[in-house]
């Protein structure tokens, strides 16, 4: 253990991709993960979409890695036999204000060099016979993929190149000094030359970030009962509310044939709380004692969001009502509850929701924060970038 080059904290897509790139470059890498396996939080609880990059603001970290990541991830899935369901995303507008949102997304797509088409009502039906809207944006390079299979493939790559994974190791503190780092876990202390903190929902705590805090937002999904899955061919997205960094409700066909409806964006009372009243994962006190939390909460648009999210969290009918605006034939009885995943959303002291990925490199520690959607899509080139950043410090 004494000759470790890089310690990676967290075996999600970002940590595993970073470890794989480092190991392939000949670095001695150890990944510390608190769970008994990889990809059990954000990277295994998501929509499973390889995003095209039309919705991210140009010239951001997310834009750069999403567009590169889309190409790389599609090739990786093909090479590694990871299941995909091609078919593209249709973002549907239902009135004039939503058409304005589509125009903004089209501008972002152009800025990011992403191929899209703008469609009228008849063309919407050609792509998705059960969808309805006044206009739509069509991004053909988006598709579903098996996100868990992907994370396991990354672990295989990393281990094959010599990396070690230590599961059931919760990192409690990182001490980064001039001559390397000591990572304290609940079982032992691990020494290395550089640490990459890719701890997702806990990355802010390990980074001891004083100006930013993770406030977890739960994305809860319903899914169509098997007999109604043919309502959706591929992906039907609502035009998002651009006040928030969330993508809004969508109906998505997964690689296993299930069609999920969601995700919501409800403030979660615990970092790993995957149901409404759960406090799992802690963090409630840290959230409500954060000045940014109350500054966020008093914003009228935020209070509106929470009101509608509470309703949708508790009632399948509320989800069905929203989804029916995209697919009018959908009925409440067509839905059953499915899974949930929490976003590691950073909130700043002024109450604003941070939009872009934040990388903080101090001495021998690299902290990776706010890897929210489309973080999976970004993860191959982003992991390579983090591996290079870590290697530069050796």
Which residues contribute to the site for ligand FAD (CB under 6 A)? 9-15, 32-35, 40-43, 46-49, 51, 170-171, 198-202, 219, 263, 341-343, 371-377
Least spacing, CB of residue 197 vs ligand FAD, in Å: 9
Shortest distance, CB of residue 227 to ligand FAD, whole angstroms?
25
Q: Which of 350, 167, 131, 363 is nearest to 252 (CA)?
A: 131
48 and 252 Cβ atoms separated by less than 8 Å: yes
Going by their DSSP bridges, the two strands 335-343 and 217-224 should be labelled as antiparallel
> Which pair of structure tokens corresponds to residue 4?
């470790």
Q: Residue 342 CB: number of other CB atoms within 10 A?
A: 27
Pick the closer one to ligand FAD by CB: 132 or 197.
Answer: 197
Nearest approach in angstroms of CB 52 to ligand FAD is 10
135 or 383: whose CB is closer to ligand FAD?
383
Q: Which is nearer to ligand FAD, 132 or 370 (CB)?
A: 370
Rounded-to-integer distance, Cα 11 and Cα 34, Å: 9
- Please say which residue, 242 or 295, places its beta carbon nearer to ligand FAD: 242
CB of 13 to ligand FAD, least distance (A): 5
Least distance CB 291 / ligand FAD (angstroms): 24
Could you tell me the smallest distance in angstroms from the CB atom of residue 16 to ligand FAD?
A: 7
Q: Rounded CA gap, 148 and 11, in Å? A: 12
Q: How far is the CB of 300 from ligand FAD (least distance, A)?
A: 25
Answer yes or no: are the C-beta atoms of 131 and 143 closer than 8 Å: no
Q: What are phi and psi of 228, to 5 degrees?
A: -110, 5
Contact 136, 92 (CB under 8 A): yes
**Closer residue to ligand FAD in complex, CB, 135/157:** 157
Give the relative orientation of helices 147-160 and 13-24 as an angle to the nearest 10 degrees.
30
- Complex with ligand FAD: residue 46 or 313, whichever CB lies closer: 46
In the bound complex, what is the minimum distance in angstroms from residue 122's beta carbon to ligand FAD? 28
By C-beta, is 135 or 375 nearer to ligand FAD?
375
C-alpha distances out from residue 254 to 55, 112, 232, Å: 20, 26, 11
**Residue closer to ligand FAD (CB basis): 330 or 386:** 386
H-only helix segments in the chain: 13-24, 61-80, 96-112, 121-127, 147-160, 203-207, 284-288, 291-297, 300-314, 316-324, 375-392
């Amino acid at each position: 253990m004494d000759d470790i080059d890089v310690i990676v904290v967290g075996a999600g897509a970002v940590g595993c991709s970073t470890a794989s790139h480092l190991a392939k470059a000949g670095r001695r890498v150890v990944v510390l993960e608190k769970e008994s396996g990889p990809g059990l939080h954000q990277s295994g609880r998501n929509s499973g979409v390889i995003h095209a990059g039309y919705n991210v603001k140009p010239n951001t970290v997310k834009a750069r890695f999403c567009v590169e990541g889309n190409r790389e991830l599609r090739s990786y899935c093909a090479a590694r036999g990871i299941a995909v369901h091609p078919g593209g995303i249709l973002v549907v507008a239902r009135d004039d204000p939503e058409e304005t949102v589509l125009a903004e997304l089209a501008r972002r797509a152009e800025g990011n060099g992403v191929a899209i088409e703008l469609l009228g009502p008849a063309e919407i039906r050609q792509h998705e016979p059960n969808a309805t809207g006044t206009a739509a944006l069509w991004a053909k390079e988006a598709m579903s993929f098996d996100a868990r299979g992907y994370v396991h493939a990354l672990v295989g790559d990393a281990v094959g190149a010599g990396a070690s994974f230590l599961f059931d190791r919760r990192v409690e503190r990182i001490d980064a000094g001039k001559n390397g780092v000591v990572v304290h876990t609940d079982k032992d202390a691990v020494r290395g030359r550089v640490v990459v903190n890719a701890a997702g929902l806990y990355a802010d705590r390990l980074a001891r970030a004083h100006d930013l805090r993770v406030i977890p937002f739960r994305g809860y999904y319903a899914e169509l009962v098997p007999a109604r899955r043919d309502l959706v061919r591929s992906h039907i997205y609502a035009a998002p509310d651009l006040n928030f960094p969330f993508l809004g409700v969508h109906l998505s066909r997964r690689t296993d044939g299930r069609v999920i409806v969601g995700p919501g964006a409800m403030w979660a009372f615990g970092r790993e709380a995957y149901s409404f009243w759960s406090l799992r994962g802690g963090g409630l006190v840290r959230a409500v004692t954060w000045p940014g939390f109350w500054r966020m909460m008093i914003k009228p648009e935020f209070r509106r969001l929470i009101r509608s999210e509470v309703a949708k969290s508790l009632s399948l009918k509320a989800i069905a009502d929203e989804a029916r605006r995209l697919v009018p034939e959908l009925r409440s009885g067509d839905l059953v509850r499915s899974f949930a995943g929490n976003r590691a959303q950073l909130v700043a002291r002024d109450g604003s929701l941070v939009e872009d990925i934040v990388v903080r490199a101090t001495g021998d520690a690299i902290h990776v924060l706010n890897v929210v959607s489309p973080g999976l899509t970004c993860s191959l080139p982003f992991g390579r970038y983090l591996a290079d950043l870590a290697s530069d410090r050796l």
